[in-house]
């Protein structure tokens, strides 16, 4: 958007005796994407812009077209007309980006390369340093508000404890920015993302399901329930061989679609004997221990089912799958996924994190000692 403003592609335009402020012509933008090598061809450019429309980032100036058409039609960024929907997640992300830009642009920044346990970490800071800075810069009214902001940033995956063992505290614990906001991103990365909307509509976590007698042409998977009853559901297959097929994404094949028949809802009953809260898990002296599991997915997945939310728990584990081999058990609680703190998330969101992440999955789980 900012590059288009700089290049004067976004400007006030007149059409049928009416002036439309801050808009661009779709056909001109497609040309621009190809010229700047943001898209290899017009078809890809159209798909990219449609992705932005689907996420309410751009829209037709009169909302007469729900599709992005490569024609002399006027579209506009919602940020330019005040219609961009600011959800809590978006607000926290934008706040994190703003703080990051502010921190890296000042002299004597608190962001430094530091070492802990002989490991060097980039963009690190002490929790108490961040609290001091937030209060001094007027980003927070007081230290309590600064800690709440730090916790929100951590829970949204923007910052993290360097070894992911602590939440955010006003102390000399070492944290780092998990997101490098200055990394140059290409629009085509959008086409490799999976739809979180599709994931959230699924009755179970699709990444966990295991296939019996793998057949390349069949997408039926089997999920093992605790009562040994097996139900068939349809799911996407996580592929470890997509790179051999020429797919640019070595971890996940985006071609299969998620299809879940409503009658095939598996594991409807929780394996937990009683509900457990985050406060109970994290309270000092609680009868839980934390374990780190490294699970290397095979051609059909990782072999476990996660359910619930805030916190999520392991509902079922395939005894012959990668998760079982790594030491996963039912009733464990999911603490982090690939370095991101997830105790506050529901299982659909955790599903999305795992499916869009690397094939080698690193999970921290909490297990009862009793």
Instruction: Give burial (CB, 10 Å; 0-12/13-18/19+) of 260.
Output: middle
Question: Comparing 205-209, 294-298, 307-311, 353-357, which segment has the lowest mean pLDDT?
Answer: 205-209
Span 188-214, mean pLDDT?
47
Q: Which CATH class is domain 1-77?
A: mainly alpha
pLDDT of residue 239: 31
% pLDDT > 90, the chain:
41
Whether pTM exceeds 0.85: no
pLDDT of residue 296: 87
Same fold across 1-77 and 88-177: yes
Q: Which residues pair with 34 in a beta bridge?
A: none
Q: Is the pLDDT assigned to residue 14 strictly greater than 60?
A: yes
What SS3 state is found at 283?
coil
pLDDT, tens digit, for every residue of 229-269? 333 332 333 332 222 233 333 333 333 333 333 333 344 57
Average pLDDT, the chain: 78
pLDDT of residue 103: 92
**303 and 318 Cβ atoms separated by less than 8 Å:** yes
Q: What are the sequence ranges of the domains in the chain?
A: 1-77, 88-177, 278-368
pLDDT of residue 299: 67
Is residue 193 very low, low, confident or very high in pLDDT (cuts 50, 70, 90)? low
pLDDT of residue 251: 31
- Residues in the chain, total: 370
pLDDT of residue 211: 34
Q: Is the pLDDT assigned to residue 178 strictly greater than 50?
A: yes
- Rounded Cα–Cα distance for residues 285 and 223 (Å): 35
Q: Is the pLDDT assigned to residue 71 strictly greater than 90?
A: yes
**27 and 46 Cβ atoms separated by less than 8 Å:** no
Span 159-176, mean pLDDT?
92
Rg (CA), the chain: 23
Helix runs in 36-112, H state only:
42-54, 88-104
pLDDT of residue 183: 76
CATH among 1.25.40.10, 2.30.42.10, 3.40.50.2300, 2.40.50.140 for 278-368: 2.30.42.10
**What sign does the dihedral 61-63-67-70 (CA atoms) show?**
negative
pLDDT of residue 107: 85
Q: Which CATH class is domain 88-177?
A: mainly alpha
Q: What spatial distance separates the first Cα and last Cα of the chain, rounded to whole Å?
A: 55
């Amino acid at each position: 958007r900012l590059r288009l403003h700089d290049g004067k592609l976004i400007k006030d335009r007149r059409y049928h005796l009416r002036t439309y402020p801050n808009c661009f012509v779709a056909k001109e933008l497609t040309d621009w994407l190809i010229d700047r090598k943001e898209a290899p061809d017009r078809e890809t450019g159209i798909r990219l812009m449609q992705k932005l429309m689907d996420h309410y980032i751009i829209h037709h100036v009169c909302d007469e077209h729900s599709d992005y058409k490569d024609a002399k039609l006027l579209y506009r960024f919602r940020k330019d007309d005040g219609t961009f929907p600011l959800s809590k997640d978006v607000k926290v992300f934008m706040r994190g980006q703003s703080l990051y830009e502010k921190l890296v642009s000042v002299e004597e920044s608190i962001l430094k390369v530091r070492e802990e346990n002989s490991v060097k970490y980039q963009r690190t800071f002490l929790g108490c340093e961040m609290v001091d800075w937030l209060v001094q810069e007027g980003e927070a009214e007081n230290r309590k508000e600064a800690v709440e902001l730090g916790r929100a940033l951590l829970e949204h995956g923007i910052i993290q404890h360097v070894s992911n063992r602590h939440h955010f505290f006003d102390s000399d614990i070492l944290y780092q920015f998990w997101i490098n906001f200055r990394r140059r991103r290409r629009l085509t990365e959008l086409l490799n993302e999976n739809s979180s909307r599709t994931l959230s509509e699924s009755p179970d976590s699709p990444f966990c399901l295991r296939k019996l007698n793998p057949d390349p042409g069949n997408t039926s998977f089997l999920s093992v329930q605790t009562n040994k009853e097996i139900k068939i559901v349809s799911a996407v297959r996580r592929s470890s061989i997509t790179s051999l097929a020429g797919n640019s994404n070595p971890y996940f094949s985006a071609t299969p679609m998620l299809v879940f028949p409503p009658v095939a809802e598996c594991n409807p009953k929780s394996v937990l004997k009683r509900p457990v809260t985050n406060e109970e898990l994290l309270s000092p002296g609680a009868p839980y221990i934390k374990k780190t599991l490294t699970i290397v997915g095979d051609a059909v997945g990782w072999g476990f089912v996660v359910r619930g939310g805030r916190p999520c728990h392991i509902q079922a584990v395939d005894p012959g799958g990668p998760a079982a081999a790594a030491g996963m058990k039912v009733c464990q609680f999911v603490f982090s996924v690939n370095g991101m703190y997830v105790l506050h998330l529901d299982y659909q969101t955790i599903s999305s994190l795992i499916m869009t992440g690397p094939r080698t999955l690193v999970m921290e789980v909490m297990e009862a000692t009793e």
